[in-house]
Structure 1
Amino acid sequence: MKVVVAIDSFKGSLSSYDLGEAIEKGIRNIYLEGEVIKVPIADGGEGTVESLVQGTNGEFVVMDVHNPLMKKIKATYGVMGDGTAVIEMAEASGLPLIPKEERDPMKTTTYGTGELIKDAIEKGCRNFIVGIGGSATNDAGVGMLQALGYNFLDENKEKVGKGGEVLSKIRYIDDKNKIKELDQCNFLIACDVDNPFYGERGAAEVYGRQKGATEEMVKLLDKGLRDFSKTIEKTMGIDISNLKGAGAAGGLGGGLVAFLNGKLAPGIDIVLEKVNLEKEMIDADFVITGEGRLDFQTAMGKAPVGVAKVAKKFDIPVIGLAGGVADEAIETHKKGIDSFFSIINYPITLEEAMKPEIARKFVEKNTEEIFRLIKVCEKKFSK
């Protein structure tokens, strides 16, 4: 029996690595000699650094950066085994870093994300994977670029400040002091949304309110993105206004493409390629995948469906595990997940269910029961 475990984290509860350990225990309770291959995965958001570092025998780097309101915090990025730097912008510029009452995308900045990139460059990294989910910002990456040496000037050729409020003020872009090594760097951007830079489906209109924007702020932020895109096109000859994914992370997707020649790609595709999942699946009997909640979003191409897609190349049965399973999760059957299960064994509050020790127990025991059934069927149909 060979089982490949490639499961996304149960966010706020268990990491991909922890889940792999619990699932392996459950399998070995039934198949003691079974081969269990654990491949930590993520879809470009939370857990991407951990998955790629652990999956390639890399290392973590912890450093001081500025959070979205320019307060000092500790943040972590990773360096993969091949020297590629893996950065989650949410580590330095994410929404959870700001108390709800202080959230204000007119003020918040991606400066800390730029500090992570700068440190990796100084350590010799030239290839980058940047996950851009979960931002607290709407500054189109201006703060990040300021940390990398770019200057943005107003009509009087004075430096602008930070935050989404400065975008409409920018008239000139000065790159004389940018880090020279940037021209040698390659940026692959893990992005799972297709929002344009501005407009009714743009960064401000779709995501601004959850970052603390009032209705008036949303209009101002959208205007800022529109004005900034015109400045970029006029100054650099690059039009990102309707680029799919440019509106991700408050316009950071567009900023990375325009200034750092970034390439946008689905996060799960990037991760699965880097951890070489396809190679690990050769001769597997089963694949186990999943995430905290299986629902309509899963079916639209999140991590479990990405894993299932690879498994189906080898005609391997795929089992999904999740904390919660929505009715619409049935759509994942069409995307390659053959059967799925909730790990919850009895009525329990969400808070209790997310406690790591409880979630770990549930995952192990439910995995054991699944493979107990597999063993029964194996004996019956082998007669």
Structure 2
Amino acid sequence: MKKIIVAADSFKGCMSSSEIGAHIQTVTHELLPAAEVTVLPISDGGEGLVEAVVKNGGFLRQEGMFCDPLRQPWSAVWARKGSEAVVELAQCSGLGLCQPRNPALASTYGTGLQIKAALNAGCKTIYLGLGGSGTHDGGCGIAAALGVRFFHQGKTFLPTGLTLDQIEAIDVSGCELRNFGAQLICLCDVTNPLFGSTGAARVFARQKGADERLIGQLDRSTEALTRKVEAWQACSLANLPGLGAAGACGLMLKGLFNCEIRSGLKQLLQWMRLDEQLAEADLIVTGEGRIDAQSLQGKVPLGILRHAQQANVPVLAVCGQLGMAKTTLLEAGFCDVLVLQQPSMSEQESILHAPQRLQEEWRHWLKQNLPRQELAEKSVSVS
């Protein structure tokens, strides 16, 4: 085995993409000193997007002072390459920054300030990674930071999830995104609409700290505001897939800015030139914290698998938890699956021991499979 690619999503709250790659790299070099291990940090638009494009996409890291979901000063990063910028919503509006978690009060205003910084730096194409948010403000915070004004009883205010139903008028004349002539491209791989049984509030708000009463309120407010924006802007938003990402951010980003929605994973793999990397690879390792039925519906592992299959490169899946039958993943095309959590472990123990378990499982897998692969390579070369 001469070249191994590690392209795994982060194990949230446990290991980043880069850390996963580093552990695999360490063990590989112990057993195969001459092997090349290429680590490609992966993100579908959520946490880790900036890190990924800086490490492998040719972008440069940019730092600045913005604000967190409660509008307290917060240092965060974005990325730039020429006139292109990559902003990761989770940097200033992420779930991990919300203490306590309350989508009724959290705002995306800090993310809007990051976009504003990119505009002031001369960027004309802004890629916004949607994912990992702790907010449900319909993107109003982003819009407000970019010069959009929201009115209630004739006075301007900054709407949050709690006050979405108070918006009575919107003024977009001072919108900096429009004035700079820039294009906004939103990166996400969820297909949830703005509201309803599969909408932003019903599917995502509970993990952000909402109870049933608040979930219902957020859903109703989002629907009501959607109807208002559709009337004001003469557009159709209610049935568009993906606008429910990141606390229904697509409501403002599509409704006011006419953003383009793209697959975050596809865009990232294009920046990283994965298909070129696969041309010389013998194996690719991918995965995420929990692999379950959703993993086979467009998330990182499936996206990597599809690219690798086109290049005839075997794919090994790694996960902290497995929420489906291993045979299902093998039937889907993965060559094998490594699961880090053992039956006797609690979730907390699993997270604590994940780095050690990853090295143990990878070492065992290499020892079990390497001899057969080497033999196969020799027989091919002889023939």
* TM-score in same-fold range (> 0.5): yes
Judge conservation of contact 1:49–1:77 (CA < 8 Å) in 2.
yes
Partner of 2:359: 364
Deviation at 1:309, TM superposition (A): 0.7
Match of 2:185 among 184, 188, 199: 188
The 2-side partners of 1:61 and 1:76 are apart by 5
Partner of 2:217: 220
CA 197–181 in structure 1, closer or farther in 2 if over 3 Å, else same: closer
Partner of 1:94: 94
Partner of 1:55: 56
The residue matched to 2:249 in structure 1 has which SS? helix
Q: How does 1:336-355 map to 2 (within 5 A)?
A: 336-343=333-340, 348-355=345-352
Partner of 1:332: 329
User: How many residues are matched?
Assistant: 377
Deviation at 1:47, TM superposition (A): 1.3
Q: Which amino acid aligns with 1:318?
A: V
Partner of 2:23: 22
Q: Deviations over 1:325-363 (max 9, x none)?
A: 2333543334332211124589555434434xx543433
The residue matched to 2:138 in structure 1 has which SS? coil
Q: Which amino acid aligns with 1:92?
A: C
Q: Kindly indicate whether residue 248 of structure 2 is the aligned counterpart of residue 247 of structure 1.
A: no
Q: Kindly indicate whether residue 260 of structure 2 is the aligned counterpart of residue 263 of structure 1.
A: yes
CA 363–199 in structure 1, closer or farther in 2 if over 3 Å, else same: closer
The 2-side partners of 1:180 and 1:33 are apart by 50
Q: Which range moves more in the overlay, 25-34 or 209-218?
A: 209-218
CA 328–185 in structure 1, closer or farther in 2 if over 3 Å, else same: farther
Judge conservation of contact 1:243–1:254 (CA < 8 Å) in 2.
no
Partner of 2:160: 163
The residue matched to 1:86 in structure 2 has which SS? strand
Q: How does 1:102-181 map to 2 (within 5 A)?
A: 103-154=101-152, 156-179=153-176
Deviation at 1:208, TM superposition (A): 3.0
The 2-side partners of 1:217 and 1:336 are apart by 41
The residue matched to 1:62 in structure 2 has which SS? strand
Q: Which amino acid aligns with 2:146?
A: L
CA 88–24 in structure 1, closer or farther in 2 if over 3 Å, else same: same
Q: Deviations over 1:131-181 (max 9, x none)?
A: 222222222111111100111223x43213331233222232212222166
Q: Which amino acid aligns with 1:88?
A: E
Q: Kindly indicate whether residue 277 of structure 2 is the aligned counterpart of residue 280 of structure 1.
A: yes
The 1-side partners of 2:28 and 2:21 are apart by 11
Judge conservation of contact 2:342–2:350 (CA < 8 Å) in 1.
no
Partner of 2:300: 303
The residue matched to 2:232 in structure 1 has which SS? helix
Q: Deviations over 1:22-58 (max 9, x none)?
A: 2122222222222322222122211122112111243
CA 264–332 in structure 1, closer or farther in 2 if over 3 Å, else same: farther
The 1-side partners of 2:60 and 2:374 are apart by 44
The 1-side partners of 2:83 and 2:315 are apart by 32
Q: Which runs of 5+ in 1 are unaligned?
A: none
The 2-side partners of 1:193 and 1:180 are apart by 25
TM-score (norm 1): 0.89
Match of 1:376 among 346, 371, 374: 371
Deviation at 1:98, TM superposition (A): 1.9
TM-score (norm 2): 0.89
Q: Which amino acid aligns with 1:30?
A: L
CA 180–218 in structure 1, closer or farther in 2 if over 3 Å, else same: closer
Partner of 1:46: 47
Match of 1:293 among 286, 290, 294: 290
CA 119–348 in structure 1, closer or farther in 2 if over 3 Å, else same: same
Partner of 2:32: 31
The 1-side partners of 2:185 and 2:174 are apart by 23
Partner of 2:318: 321
The 2-side partners of 1:345 and 1:207 are apart by 28
The 2-side partners of 1:23 and 1:289 are apart by 11
Identity %, equivalent residues: 31
The 2-side partners of 1:346 and 1:227 are apart by 46
Q: Which runs of 5+ in 2 are unaligned?
A: none
Judge conservation of contact 2:194–2:222 (CA < 8 Å) in 1.
yes
The 2-side partners of 1:175 and 1:200 are apart by 31
Judge conservation of contact 1:121–1:181 (CA < 8 Å) in 2.
no
Judge conservation of contact 1:296–1:329 (CA < 8 Å) in 2.
no
Judge conservation of contact 2:112–2:145 (CA < 8 Å) in 1.
yes
The residue matched to 1:354 in structure 2 has which SS? helix
Q: Deviations over 1:212-245 (max 9, x none)?
A: 3344433332232222222212221111111111
CA 239–36 in structure 1, closer or farther in 2 if over 3 Å, else same: same
The 1-side partners of 2:290 and 2:69 are apart by 28
